[in-house]
Structure 1
């Protein structure tokens, strides 16, 4: 079996090191825009390296053609997810990713033509197979199946404030926490404002705190709402533990810094610029807030329904 891993970054590297010793493949290819990074990872796992450009459909097809499975970790997925998925179906290659973008999830659950094309090609597409979404989605489904009937599933994420998550994740987070995002409300996918409808969430030890969390653009609400029978509502909410971080991030939108469209005469959008600035020493220093000293990230998944009356 030939396995192609798209990206030589942190997530792709961990997946490569997990899979390499399992003997699930005869050939392993690591593909990235940066051939030097791809080669270094390939050498460490006994694979080969290839260069590809995720913004070029022909380049995508050239590197995955002939593969049995492609694992995609190229982000941000709202820019690169759908073109790579379409290329995989066209090339007859099974596809897995860790997509964490709500709009890609919405496109996929609505794309009946793409579903039909995948079935015709005999291709399986599995998206959102990470921690969140992924483990969070499985917990939501397990919780729903533990009840006789379920009418809502709510996911809440609380994270210690961090300026530099890497330029790609920075951009993903700015995309997820600005403008209108999607939630599953009253039986349908609806647009709602990011940070909107904040609600309290209480976390036990070792956190021992209650936070206010507002809407976040993330796939769980869309996928759980679509695929768990009987659900009326499925939502995702987010907060930094540090309120100063929440206020700072909400000010980014008021100042126009989350705009995804390049301004006249400039090569990148305000959002791309801010994401890259946050990944510099100057950005880390200038956008820092007083830390809360919370021990780490926490996810809470709550299913509401009935059991035994």
Structure 2
């Protein structure tokens, strides 16, 4: 099939590197508003590069009709996701994207009937988080007979110098957006509006109770579509006290100090650069204070990406943790792009046949997905996993005290 990749930024370039390893596409075109960026990404996989303005409806339609499947790495989702999906459906192309904004995600899911009628398969939110995290959540719930509470999470695992990006990236701008305004989560059988950055306690088997912060992401509102009996579904993040303090400041800059998202993101980027050792005098004390505080409290770290399910196995209340059994080299761009490549390959090879708009947990077989992901995983020394090592590390434990839930500020949406 003929593949069109929209966007040649960090994720688009990573996609070009990954797609070379899959053989279900007869030819690949990479398009971007910048001809130079498109050509640079295309050179990574022997593809054709071209310039396109996706807001030029006529030009985009002409390009779409020359392809069978479209992968979008373009943002922000709040501006582009829904209009682009409408045009893709009209052109009759299959579709994969990496949208990580909950509100556009819900709007895209509302196009399910239109996509189904057109025979289009659209898998949205298929990156690292959402994407891998959703399928780890499915694996965690499969270990229980009934799941009441489900959390997805991501963070630094204590290695923030390597895990945080440089400068004001699109991802960092999105991060600021999702911590500075009310966010949708699932509680008591419905979507409610919650306050980001509230503390959430996570009981992870083998690690113990970990303090995390609430952040807006699609998993919290899409996973309950598969598990409607959930009483609570959240997405949380796990970073050092210094980073959480920097996020608190960024949120206040937007909510009370009148800064724009871009201005607050620039200040946050400077704070995160200081985390790498380039301190301004005013922040050095904060860095030292939070570092000492984390050490004295014995701060615990969750895996970098995973899910926790709480529920019942027989008459026992249990908690299950699921995380990747290793890491995927190549940075956050490759970690985001690789799941989209796998999903696109599953569509073109007919492993996924159902049409409509869906998130990964609704259409993708987790076993097949992690089988495809397994060759990319490496252990702590950077070596490939042994042939008898699973792609997912699963831990379970009795849950005590029973039914403990986060105390987050929420209102019915």
* TM-score greater than 0.5 by the shorter chain: yes
Structure 2 partner of 1:82: 82
Q: Offset of 1:257 from its aligned partner?
A: 6.9
Structure 2: where are the runs of 5+ without partners?
A: 316-413
1:152 aligns with 2:158: no
Structure 1: where are the runs of 5+ without partners?
A: 264-268
Evaluate the alpha carbon distance shift between residue 165 and residue 100 of structure 1 in structure 2; reply closer, same or farther with a 3 A threshold: farther
Structure 1 partner of 2:201: 200
Structure 2 partner of 1:93: 93
**Which of 36-45 and 295-304 deviates more?**
295-304
**Which of 118-127 and 208-217 deviates more?**
208-217
Q: Please give the alpha-carbon distance, in whole angstroms, between the structure 1 residues aligned to 2:271 and 2:52.
A: 29
TM-score (ref. length: structure 1)? 0.83
Structure 1 partner of 2:223: 224
Q: Offset of 1:92 from its aligned partner?
A: 0.8
Where 1:147 maps in the other structure, the secondary structure is coil
Higher-RCO chain (CA-CA 8 Å, sequence separation at least 6): 2
Structure 1 partner of 2:132: 135
Q: Please give the alpha-carbon distance, in whole angstroms, between the structure 2 residues aligned to 1:305 and 1:202.
A: 12
1:85-116 deviation line (CA, Å, top 9, x unaligned): 1111111110001111111222234x1xx211
Where 2:103 maps in the other structure, the secondary structure is helix
Evaluate the alpha carbon distance shift between residue 302 and residue 202 of structure 1 in structure 2; reply closer, same or farther with a 3 A threshold: closer
Q: Please give the alpha-carbon distance, in whole angstroms, between the structure 1 residues aligned to 2:266 and 2:180.
A: 17
Match of 2:187 among 182, 185, 201: 185
Evaluate the alpha carbon distance shift between residue 131 and residue 258 of structure 1 in structure 2; reply closer, same or farther with a 3 A threshold: farther
Structure 2 partner of 1:266: none
Where 2:31 maps in the other structure, the secondary structure is strand
Q: Please give the alpha-carbon distance, in whole angstroms, between the structure 1 residues aligned to 2:266 and 2:44.
A: 28
For the Cα contact (< 8 Å) 1:102–1:218, is it kept in 2?
Answer: yes
1:225-245 deviation line (CA, Å, top 9, x unaligned): 11224222211112422x122
Q: Please give the alpha-carbon distance, in whole angstroms, between the structure 1 residues aligned to 2:270 and 2:27.
A: 37
Map 1:237-276 to 2 at 5 A. Answer: 237-241=236-240, 243-256=241-254, 270-275=260-265
Q: Please give the alpha-carbon distance, in whole angstroms, between the structure 1 residues aligned to 2:63 and 2:302.
A: 38
Structure 1 partner of 2:307: 301
Q: Please give the alpha-carbon distance, in whole angstroms, between the structure 2 residues aligned to 1:300 and 1:238.
A: 10
Q: Offset of 1:280 from its aligned partner?
A: 7.7
Where 1:170 maps in the other structure, the secondary structure is helix
Where 1:45 maps in the other structure, the secondary structure is coil
For the Cα contact (< 8 Å) 1:258–1:270, is it kept in 2?
Answer: no
**Which of 286-295 and 159-168 deviates more?**
286-295
Structure 2 partner of 1:235: 234
TM-score (ref. length: structure 2)? 0.63
Structure 1 partner of 2:397: none
Q: Please give the alpha-carbon distance, in whole angstroms, between the structure 1 residues aligned to 2:7 and 2:184.
A: 27
For the Cα contact (< 8 Å) 2:153–2:307, is it kept in 1?
Answer: yes
1:268-301 deviation line (CA, Å, top 9, x unaligned): x811244356668997656887496999962341
Evaluate the alpha carbon distance shift between residue 22 and residue 213 of structure 1 in structure 2; reply closer, same or farther with a 3 A threshold: closer
For the Cα contact (< 8 Å) 2:250–2:264, is it kept in 1?
Answer: no
For the Cα contact (< 8 Å) 2:188–2:231, is it kept in 1?
Answer: yes
1:151-203 deviation line (CA, Å, top 9, x unaligned): 1111233333746365211111111212101111111111111112x123366
For the Cα contact (< 8 Å) 1:147–1:305, is it kept in 2?
Answer: yes
For the Cα contact (< 8 Å) 2:202–2:212, is it kept in 1?
Answer: yes
1:121-157 deviation line (CA, Å, top 9, x unaligned): 1101101111111111111112222211111111233
Structure 2 partner of 1:176: 178
**Which of 67-76 and 20-29 deviates more?**
20-29
Q: Offset of 1:258 from its aligned partner?
A: 9.3
Where 1:82 maps in the other structure, the secondary structure is helix
Where 1:50 maps in the other structure, the secondary structure is strand
Q: Please give the alpha-carbon distance, in whole angstroms, between the structure 2 residues aligned to 1:147 and 1:282.
A: 39
